[in-house]
Chains A and B, each alone.
Chain A
Amino acid sequence: MGVTGHQQSLITARDVGLVACTSCGLVAHAADHVCSRCHAGLQSRDHKSLQRVWAWLIAGLIVYVPANLYPMLRTTQLLKTQDSTIVGGVVDLVHHNAFAIAAIVFIASVVIPVGKFLIIGYLAILLPRTQNKDSHRLHKLHSAVEFIGRWSMIDVFVVAILVALVQFDVVASIKPGPAAACFALSVIFTMLSAQAFDPRLIWDVADQGKPE
């Protein structure tokens, strides 16, 4: 067993042959495949969840590479054109002593995405393992990743706003670089990855030591 007592005493829906609808919360028989109220698909456990997580995560990682290699912004100022990548832009901002903005850009476009990759990867690795782990911590991490994931889009929004606003022909104009699209894709993919995660599996492990 090796499971703490108070957890053992919990009875899950699955234990009593029921399945809860994840979209409307209606409890149905485990044999039902469609929710009788909201017609959503019913699954007691999403056993393809981990595959989806890994797939989205890897896709996100792949597009994150060109997002960092290619220029995010193409700034034209008085006949002088400058391409800036994400990290290059942060370095430029630091050179201009705009530390706060540099920090925001750095956190939004580097720290958060990289953190998400790490956390999702960590969750996906730990979940099938039977070794002792703190299911509560994993749950918190998952919640955090789900919450914070969308904020990575702040970078894409900044680019979109700048491109829309700074169009003064010769004097100054900004165009999105190829990295912008890649970065947006990366954020979307990691968000999908986090969503694909079935948090019930965390607790199954806590209950049974191994997901079925």
Chain B
Amino acid sequence: MNSSNTPSPHRLASPVAEKRKRLPSLIWFMPLLALAISAWVVWNNYAARGPLVTITFKSASGIVEGTTEVRIRDLRVGVVERIGFAEGMTAVEAQIRFDKEVAQYVDTDAQFWLVEPTVTARGVSGIGTLLSGVYIAADWDGDPGVPADKFSALAIPPLSSKHEEGTRVILRARAGGQLAAGAPVLTSGIEVGRIGQPKLSESGSMVTMEAFIFSPFNERLTTKTRFWDASGLSFNLGAQGLALKVNSLAALLEGGVTFGTPVTGGEAVTDAHVYDVFSSEEIARADAFEEKETSNIPISILLSSDVNGLGLDTLVRFKGVKVGDVIDVVGIPPKSGSEEGVNLRIDMELSRSRLGISTEISNNEVRELLRQRVANGLRARVGSEGLFGQTVILELANLSAALPAELTVDADGRTFIPTVASSAIDTDSGVDGLMERVSQLPIEELINSASLALASFSNLTATAEGVLAAEGMDQIPEKIDSILGEARTLITEVREGGAIENLNATLSSADTALKSVNKEVETTLSEVRRLISKLSDGGAVESLNATLKGAEAALKTVDGEVEKTLSEAQSLISDLRTGGSVENVNKTLAEVNALFQDLREGGAVENLNATLKSADGALQSVDGVLADTLVEVQALMKELREGGAIESLNATLKSADSALNSIDSAVSTLPELAKRLNATADSLQAVVSGYDTNSRFYGDVRGVLNDISSTADSFRSLARSIERNPSSLITGRR
């Protein structure tokens, strides 16, 4: 204490004591600075925190507090802070802290869903979550909206992100299509979109689903675009063989739809345009080509009976023309509670243009029009069509005899057309109906008549046998033998009697006759050629046909003559058999002699010439058949010759002559006929010229003309062969 109170003389007064101020030093700003730094850090962290949002999930599969992130486009925008049960333990609520920057976008249109690793036919998705754990994907548009803090997570990822450009359309398919959510939408084999979750329609008969078509491809969607099912495999066993069509593997497993725009001129579509999904490309294309009515007439009918085979694809026909489609079949309970069971209400859409109703008049006016038609007898009924009536159709028919009925309108505004009983024989179609129809075929009668025919045939055979077994039949050869012997003696007599010379002379005259025949044949052939050229020029095939028909008729008469001749020959043979006297033969030979005499004198040759002339006339149209006839005649003559009855030759020739005469007379009418046919052909040509060169009729006509020219060719070749070998007219072709 002393030392401090009494400082030594060297010691200076303490400078510190003088300077001691009780003011705080500037150094105290440092703690304030530190406080400020800390406060800034704390505030910075606090301010960076975005809003806390509650998202409800069905289950907390894999969500971890403080770790599970919320990502948008794979960028972290928030994290799960807490997870717990919702009230009543019905769901799981995750509280998510969003980043400040995105907070303004977490508005009512935000969507959230859980991303887990999934393996589908199209590949593996969310594989990152295998390592990092699940995350919550978010999607929202870029416009800040009304903020929200409670959301419900989607069960499946949404069809498209709000940032993806494209068109959202609604597809309507028949139930049973194998379309699953996420299935691809293809066009030209390229995946251009996705299908959303399919939903069943109210009636359960249709499935609707959203489909999203990505941006550059959505321009291909027009009102004329058609979608069809591209699921799985399609087999087609047709005339071309077996066709197996497999689309992409993904489509095979998950289904898929393809679209195409086979018709141009459609208008661009906007979101929520409804498309039908057709079952095959062919049907879809066919539908596209068929102009759809914008304002179809909706009508309904009530059917009390069960009709199998009535469905959505059932056609509605009016006077055989398709006028609409069935769009729905609904079972409804009958009003009065009768015990009849369920009525069927069939909703149809009728095309205005097919019914001849203007598109400008309103539906009410159409209803009045229909009411009038119903009053005049318009009724609906179930009909059938197809080879065996296997296809059920709905028919609108004007039945003036129908019981009076009128158009009714129900509470929902449906227009009901009265129905009448089915026109189908058995609407219970299918195999039963088919069998019914088959059993109604007149098979039995056919078989009966066939057996009758067989019986008469066997009768005939029996008679023939009886004739053959008749007495004396076995003696015929002997008799013929003796006849031949006598004939031989006769011949020697003839030879000795100078008959040979006669014969020679006869033959020479026959020769000259044949020569003249040759000439005649040549002129005939030139005529034939001219005719053929005329035919090929004029193109009157039908006249030719008619001519040929006439020729055929003529030949039939020839046939009759020949038959008559044959019967005469037969009677002659029977005469021979019964008589069998040499005198007869002698007489016969004398007659032969006389015949040859006649021949020599030229009368027969002239006859023959005349015959040939008429044959020539006939030949203009009936050559081939005539040749055949001549062959037959020749064969007949041969038979006769072998039978040893030369007289029959004369008779035959005579009858042939008469036959040919009748042909001649028939032929004489030919020019007139040909003239008429020519006129017909001319008018036909006029008609033909009226047709477009591309029309089907023209094609047919051309085909006919081709046929004609080939016919003419065959005529020409025939003519040539006759020219080379004129005797073939007599002897037939060799």
Is A15 a contact partner of B8 (Cβ separation < 8 A)?
yes
Q: Is B204 an interface residue (CB 8 A)?
A: no
Is B16 a contact partner of A47 (Cβ separation < 8 A)?
yes
Is A82 a contact partner of B131 (Cβ separation < 8 A)?
no
The listed residue (B14, B34, B131) touching A212 by CB distance below 8 A is B14
Contacts of A137 in B (CB 8 A): none
A139 to B16, CA, bound (A): 23
Q: Is A189 an interface residue (CB 8 A)?
A: yes
Whose C-beta in chain A lies nearest to the C-beta of B44? A178
Q: Mark A67-87, 1 if CB is under 8 A from B, else 0.
A: 000100000001111100000
Q: Is B4 an interface residue (CB 8 A)?
A: yes
Contacts of B3 in A (CB 8 A): 208
Whose C-beta in chain A lies nearest to the C-beta of B79? A81
Contacts of B15 in A (CB 8 A): 30, 44
B185 to chain A, nearest CB (A): 31
Is A55 a contact partner of B16 (Cβ separation < 8 A)?
no
Contacts of A58 in B (CB 8 A): 31, 34
Contacts of A114 in B (CB 8 A): none
A65 to B38, CA, bound (A): 8
Whose C-beta in chain A lies nearest to the C-beta of B76? A81
Is B67 a contact partner of A66 (Cβ separation < 8 A)?
no
Is A182 a contact partner of B10 (Cβ separation < 8 A)?
no
Whose C-beta in chain B lies nearest to the C-beta of A2? B1
Q: Is A48 an interface residue (CB 8 A)?
A: yes
B99 to chain A, nearest CB (A): 13
Contacts of B4 in A (CB 8 A): 208, 212
B25 to chain A, nearest CB (A): 5
Is A80 a contact partner of B17 (Cβ separation < 8 A)?
no
A160 to B383, CA, bound (A): 89
Is B131 a contact partner of A78 (Cβ separation < 8 A)?
yes
A17 to B12, CA, bound (A): 6
For chain A, the count of residues having a C-beta within 8 Å of the partner chain is 36
Contacts of A59 in B (CB 8 A): 30-31, 33-35
Q: Is A7 an interface residue (CB 8 A)?
A: no
Contacts of A48 in B (CB 8 A): 25, 27
Whose C-beta in chain B lies nearest to the C-beta of A60? B34
B328 to chain A, nearest CB (A): 51
Q: Mark B36-58, 1 if CB is under 8 A from A, else 0.
A: 01100110110000000000000
Contacts of B1 in A (CB 8 A): 1
The listed residue (A17, A63, A81, A82) touching B34 by CB distance below 8 A is A63
Q: Is A62 an interface residue (CB 8 A)?
A: yes
Given A51-B25, A70-B41, A70-B45; A45-B35 close (CB under 8 Å): no
Given A17-B11, A65-B38; A44-B16 close (CB under 8 Å): yes
Q: Which of B16, B27, B28, B45: most chain A CB closer than 10 A?
A: B27
Is B10 a contact partner of A80 (Cβ separation < 8 A)?
no
Q: Is A126 an interface residue (CB 8 A)?
A: no
Q: Mark A134-145, 1 if CB is under 8 A from B, else 0.
A: 000000000000
Q: Is B624 an interface residue (CB 8 A)?
A: no
Whose C-beta in chain B lies nearest to the C-beta of A210? B4
A70 to B135, CA, bound (A): 24
Q: Which of A51, A62, A82: most chain B CB closer than 10 A?
A: A62
Q: Is B69 an interface residue (CB 8 A)?
A: yes
The listed residue (A16, A45, A62, A182) touching B31 by CB distance below 8 A is A62
Q: Is B128 an interface residue (CB 8 A)?
A: yes
Using a CB-CB cutoff of 8 Å, which residues 211-256 of chain B contact chain A? none
Is A55 a contact partner of B131 (Cβ separation < 8 A)?
no
Whose C-beta in chain A lies nearest to the C-beta of B13? A30
Whose C-beta in chain A lies nearest to the C-beta of B69? A81
Is B27 a contact partner of A51 (Cβ separation < 8 A)?
yes
Using a CB-CB cutoff of 8 Å, which residues 1-59 of chain A contact chain B? 1, 14-17, 30-31, 44-45, 47-48, 51-52, 55-56, 58-59
Secondary structure dominating the interface of A: helix
Q: Is B20 an interface residue (CB 8 A)?
A: yes
Q: Is B693 an interface residue (CB 8 A)?
A: no
Is B45 a contact partner of A178 (Cβ separation < 8 A)?
yes
For chain B, the count of residues having a C-beta within 8 Å of the partner chain is 37
Whose C-beta in chain A lies nearest to the C-beta of B128? A79
A185 to B682, CA, bound (A): 118
Q: Is B133 an interface residue (CB 8 A)?
A: yes
Contacts of B25 in A (CB 8 A): 48, 51-52, 55
Contacts of A1 in B (CB 8 A): 1
A55 to B34, CA, bound (A): 10
A116 to chain B, nearest CB (A): 15
A24 to B181, CA, bound (A): 85
Is B10 a contact partner of A16 (Cβ separation < 8 A)?
yes
Given A82-B67, A178-B44; A62-B34 close (CB under 8 Å): yes
A55 to B30, CA, bound (A): 6
Contacts of A52 in B (CB 8 A): 25, 27
Q: Mark A97-137, 1 if CB is under 8 A from B, else 0.
A: 00000000000000000000000000000000000000000
A41 to chain B, nearest CB (A): 12
Q: Mark B126-138, 1 if CB is under 8 A from A, else 0.
A: 0010011101000
Contacts of A70 in B (CB 8 A): 41, 45
Q: Is B24 an interface residue (CB 8 A)?
A: yes
A16 to B10, CA, bound (A): 6
Contacts of B29 in A (CB 8 A): 55
A186 to B646, CA, bound (A): 153
Whose C-beta in chain B lies nearest to the C-beta of A171? B131
Is B27 a contact partner of A15 (Cβ separation < 8 A)?
no
B521 to chain A, nearest CB (A): 106
Contacts of A31 in B (CB 8 A): 12
Using a CB-CB cutoff of 8 Å, which residues 107-158 of chain B contact chain A? 128, 131-133, 135
Contacts of B12 in A (CB 8 A): 17, 30-31
Given A55-B29, A56-B30, A65-B38, 15 further pairs, Cβ under 8 A: A1-B1, A44-B14, A47-B16, A47-B19, A51-B28, A55-B25, A58-B34, A59-B33, A60-B34, A66-B42, A78-B131, A80-B67, A81-B76, A189-B30, A212-B17
30 contacts between A and B (CB under 8 A): A1-B1, A17-B11, A44-B14, A44-B15, A47-B20, A48-B25, A51-B24, A51-B25, A55-B25, A55-B29, A58-B31, A59-B33, A59-B34, A60-B34, A62-B31, A62-B34, A62-B37, A62-B38, A66-B42, A70-B41, A78-B128, A80-B67, A80-B132, A81-B69, A178-B41, A185-B34, A185-B37, A189-B34, A208-B4, A212-B16
Taking Cβ atoms with an 8 Å cutoff, the residues of A that contact B are 1, 14-17, 30-31, 44-45, 47-48, 51-52, 55-56, 58-60, 62-63, 65-66, 70, 78-82, 178, 181-182, 185, 189, 196, 208, 212
- Pairs A-B, 7 closest by C-beta atoms: A59-B34, A79-B132, A58-B31, A62-B34, A59-B31, A55-B27, A59-B30
